[in-house]
Structure 1
Amino acid sequence: MEAFLRHSARAAPDGIAVVAGETRLSYAELDGRSDRLAAALAAQGVRRGDRVVVLMENIAEAAVAIYAVLKASAIFCPVNPQLKGAGIAFILRDARPAAILTQARFIEPCRQASDGLAAPPVLISTQAGAPLPEGVLPFARLVGEGGEKPPEAGDDGELAMIIYTSGSTGRPKGVMMSHAAMDAASASIALYLQNSASDVVLCALPLAFTYGLYQLVASVRSGARLVLEKNFAFPHAVLEKARAEGVTGMPLVPTIAALLLSMKELEPGALPALRYLTNAAAPLPPAHVEGLRRLFPGVRLYCMYGLTECARAAYLDPAELDKRTGSVGKAIPGTEVAVVDEHGVAVPPGTVGELVVRGPHLMRGYWENPEATAAALRPDPASGQRQLHTGDLFRTDADGFLHFVGRKDDMLKVRGEKVAPREVEAALCACPGVVEAVAFGRPDPVQGTILHAAVVVSDPGLGERDLLRHCARALPDFMVPKSIEFRDDLPKTASGKITRRLLAEAGAEAGTETGE
């Protein structure tokens, strides 16, 4: 993977690779700094195959750290900076890193989480004015010192990354990705997005998550500029930065899309250089698709489907948006997908089944978890080819385009009927004035499960009765929520997904686990 950075640095050494706050790194600077940090890691005892945790916000040093670990022939483990002590401790115990690259604000949590490890990791941190604690090595000094060349590059089949799932429905799992798998995924993504060195990509998604991380990987392999923002909490400032940098590509999640659509002062064409928008992590409600197209006329909108275990699996060609409402398209280039039954046999169009994915971009498996690996990676009964069972329910239309139905463990049984919460959410979001919606089930001693919903609205005049009437017109009776609560915001994961589970459990001694 690091070879693409070297290539881009040779092709355009003065081209800007990363913009983060006031920091601007050229490709030559990103390449040189990561070289020096890789040599420093080797000097500190990091060896081929060692794990190195990268616990950083979306700052320029995070990009340097990731490529330095790759150049040291080690395995980088990106960690969500929003994790608390117990979450960090779990990953450190599981990954047993040789080193941690972090920021000053995370030093103490890292030290506490490292207690009890047989071999305490080397701790390297950026500084925030005050001197670093004893025993913590300064990131800036190691990057600036120079030194011997980093180790020789490893084989494409070796592991490049272990990235942990959110663990929202159980124990987090470390997804093992080889250099070859990350190469295949990023090549496919860059191909269908038509990325080039002239692109400027805005990323307000955490680099610790797959969707955010591949903005960096695909940009570097294309020689594009990546503009990093820590989050979308201040949308006016983010959009002003996007205009100033001439952003041509912007990845979204539904929560960011909803925020943009709620900004009444945002005029169509506000980002004149914008060429494309993408959405992944969770499907966009059709109403949001239409709203984004009105807000960004002429901009190509890619509705995509992906998961940590393969980065990306499907995308819809923007030219098909009008004909394929709600679809996430077909397999990304160089891969295959199928919708199968419980025996792994492909089902006919229109039939709901589990999506399986085949291709060179699949994970190696889950770190030191053979049982989970065996459950997720199974042979195709017909060809014997290894395929990833996603746990997500889909159907195809007559032309083979994929339509997401929901997570297997999201599905509810209400009054004897199967309900996909996403269909209820799409209906609610189609009501003018609704910004975000989530549907969930709560246990009931008589009826088993009762359907409820929560919404965020931009129209204070909307009431529960209005929304229930709207649902009654759009949905079958059994899919109309019993109640709808109004909230200022909905609980979300760091990657922007609404946490349905928390709402399902609220107000009940034992909530129904419905996933995300």
Structure 2
Amino acid sequence: MNTDTDTGTGLSENWATLWEAFADAQPDETAVVIGETTLTWRQLDDQAARLAAALGERGVEVGTRLAQLMYNCPEYLESAYAAFKLRATPVNVNYRYKAPEIAYICNNAGAEVLVFHGSLGERVAEAALTMSTVRVLLQVDDGAPLIAGAEWYHEVVAACEPAPRIERSGDDTLMLYTGGTTGNPKGVVWRHLDLFGGLASTAYSSAGIEVPSTVEDVGRIAAELRTRGESPVMLCAPPLMHGTALFLAIGAFVMGGTVVLLGGRSFDADELWDLVEQHRVTQISLVGDAFARPLNAALDAAEVDGALRDLSSVKRIVSTGATLSAEQKRGLMSRATNAMIFDMIGASEGGPFAVSMTMPGDEPPETAVFTAPPNVVTIDDATGMPLQRGSLTPGMLAATGAMPRGYWQDEARTAETFRFIDGVRYTVPGDYALIAEDGTVTLLGRGSVCINSGGEKIYPEEVEVAARRHPNVVDATVVGVPHERFGETVVLVCSVSAPTTADAIIATVKELIADYKAPRRVVFVDEVYRAPNGKADYRWAREQAIA
């Protein structure tokens, strides 16, 4: 693949150049829907080009980091696109973060620009006192007053003519901060060309389309697919700031698709189903039971009221990042009867590491039953080498293929996660599993939260899956807390739908896995806290357990 190509000649894997091709080939088609707001490709490209000009005037250039602290909004995509146009690097910042955490991300990334929603302005103003590199603050108007030192985003954009298009490189980057549940967030650095290999090439392959050889062909194929009615309308339930939505948008756009995002600032299952009906969504992307459970509950409530939802357009439901139980799969498939469910285990560092596919009309497999693709192995802690399938030794899941360059300014952690074994580079985020001879994967959990109780290793995910089999358990997280005799003891933090005893839940767990893995204590909470992308927050759960 070329990594430095002229705009308009050859294939550039740079996403600004590719998005410009989509804008040229289908300017008046809908690119993005965010709640009640619709953007055509012409509008998205024009706004991003004007912002690029404004940023250029403020010294943004190749490699400049631009931090984004926003809820779902057009400005989020516009600013990412503008950064791509200038060959700068967008950096996601979680809108739940407080001032010290915002400052940490911006300082760690060396961000020079911060684009933020005004309602988050007080946190930004506090963070600005300790942000050493940020010199440009662009405030998106959502009703809050302009903070000191900031400029209005809309005024900056309106004051500029669109920036001219330039030559770019597939080596340009975006940075995705991930983690924070067991330590400080880490900046995962993706090159555009690696994202093209992992997302666009996969999309073409699954559609039986040869990878285009020119930028013009990328735009032409997208427009032709849309004209034939073969493009996806992809609704992403997680917010843009977690990166999943941006990655999924990249995959949908190459197929001429439209991306639909929630407009609310907290997850609303009814809003999602409204958008599905209104825009005839063909694919829904979510993160495990944290999203599926309220979605099914909303469908249950609608049926009680006699208001059946029209889900006939949905052909595919994709879950990644957290377990999607068989129970929730059945609920979704009983309403979206034309949909297949593609459940996979992935990470910001690459993947997928395990997949499970359920076709329309089929009975879903048991919860957390996955198959390892051919490019996935487990790595033995003792030898650092791949284990044979069928080994009873737990190993870390590892995958070859498209992956990031590594972690931002962290060579040691990069070498630990992105390993060369016999000349092949693997991404090894730290999830432990067993792979049977037939490829069946048994997930054990993240090594960094592995519990050592009396010398026995206990992996939280295995216990969590077992606990959720109790009919009253809504959600659950498992952590280890200090114990005088055993070093650590297993504690289950869970929410329930009806009064339930700890003994009853522990008994359910013991029916499914070894007794020593079962929780010794159960802490009941009103709701298990998860990040907006649905992933467990083990730091929060440990605080609850200890308290």
| TM-score of the superposed pair, with normalisation by structure 2 | 0.84
Kept after mapping to 1: 8 A contact 2:239/2:261:
no
Q: Which amino acid aligns with 2:417?
A: A
Residue 355 in structure 1 maps to residue 421 in structure 2: no
Name the CA shift for 1:456/1:119 in 2 (closer, same or farther; >3 Å). Answer: closer
Cα distance in structure 2, aligned partners of 1:65 and 1:479: 47
Q: Which amino acid aligns with 1:296?
A: A
Name the CA shift for 1:369/1:440 in 2 (closer, same or farther; >3 Å). Answer: closer
Within 5 A, what are the aligned runs for 1:137-286? 137-147=151-161, 149-150=163-164, 152-158=166-172, 160-188=173-201, 190-191=203-204, 197=226, 198-229=231-262, 230=264, 233-254=267-288, 255-263=290-298, 264-267=300-303, 270-286=310-326
Residue 43 in structure 1 maps to residue 84 in structure 2: no
Cα distance in structure 2, aligned partners of 1:108 and 1:502: 24
What is the DSSP-based 3-state SS (H/G/I as helix, E as strand, rest coil) of the residue aligned with 1:54? strand
The aligned length equals 501
Within 5 A, what are the aligned runs for 1:48-447? 48-117=62-131, 120-129=134-143, 132-133=146-147, 135-147=149-161, 149-150=163-164, 152-158=166-172, 160-188=173-201, 190-191=203-204, 197=226, 198-229=231-262, 230=264, 233-254=267-288, 255-263=290-298, 264-267=300-303, 270-310=310-350, 312-319=352-359, 322=364, 326-331=368-373, 336-342=375-381, 343-351=383-391, 352-359=394-401, 361-380=402-421, 382=422, 384-414=423-453, 417-447=456-486
**Percent of aligned positions that are identical:** 27
Name the CA shift for 1:279/1:507 in 2 (closer, same or farther; >3 Å). Answer: closer
The runs of at least 4 consecutive aligned structure 1 residues that moved more than 6 Å come to: none
Moved more, 239-248 or 132-141: 132-141
Kept after mapping to 2: 8 A contact 1:72/1:150:
no
Uncovered stretches (5+) of structure 1, i.e. residues with no partner: 510-516
Cα distance in structure 1, aligned partners of 2:149 and 2:493: 48
| TM-score of the superposed pair, with normalisation by structure 1 | 0.88
Kept after mapping to 1: 8 A contact 2:29/2:40:
yes
Cα distance in structure 2, aligned partners of 1:134 and 1:498: 36
Uncovered stretches (5+) of structure 2, i.e. residues with no partner: 1-14, 208-221
Cα deviations by residue, 1:101-144 (Å, 9 ceiling, x for unpaired): 22222334334323355554211222234663464332223333
1:512 equivalent in structure 2: none
Cα deviations by residue, 1:51-101 (Å, 9 ceiling, x for unpaired): 111211111111111111100111111111111100110122122223222
Cα distance in structure 2, aligned partners of 1:152 and 1:32: 15
Cα deviations by residue, 1:218-262 (Å, 9 ceiling, x for unpaired): 233322111211455332233222222211111111211122234
Name the CA shift for 1:470/1:357 in 2 (closer, same or farther; >3 Å). Answer: closer
1:475 equivalent in structure 2: 513
Q: Which amino acid aligns with 1:243?
A: E
Kept after mapping to 2: 8 A contact 1:442/1:505:
no
Kept after mapping to 2: 8 A contact 1:327/1:402:
yes
Name the CA shift for 1:144/1:328 in 2 (closer, same or farther; >3 Å). Answer: farther
Kept after mapping to 2: 8 A contact 1:440/1:503:
yes
Kept after mapping to 1: 8 A contact 2:189/2:408:
yes
Shift of 1:469: 3.4
Kept after mapping to 2: 8 A contact 1:39/1:151:
no
Shift of 1:399: 2.7
Q: Which amino acid aligns with 2:475?
A: E
Kept after mapping to 2: 8 A contact 1:253/1:282:
yes
Name the CA shift for 1:468/1:388 in 2 (closer, same or farther; >3 Å). Answer: closer
Shift of 1:463: 3.5
Cα deviations by residue, 1:266-317 (Å, 9 ceiling, x for unpaired): 5586522111111112222344334433343331111112111226455334
Cα deviations by residue, 1:371-413 (Å, 9 ceiling, x for unpaired): 2222222211x2x122222211122222334442211123324
Which residue of 6, 11, 27 maps to 1:13? 27
What is the DSSP-based 3-state SS (H/G/I as helix, E as strand, rest coil) of the residue aligned with 1:217? helix
Kept after mapping to 1: 8 A contact 2:380/2:386:
yes
Shift of 1:178: 0.8
Kept after mapping to 1: 8 A contact 2:466/2:513:
yes
Q: Which amino acid aligns with 1:14?
A: D
Q: Which amino acid aligns with 1:394?
A: A
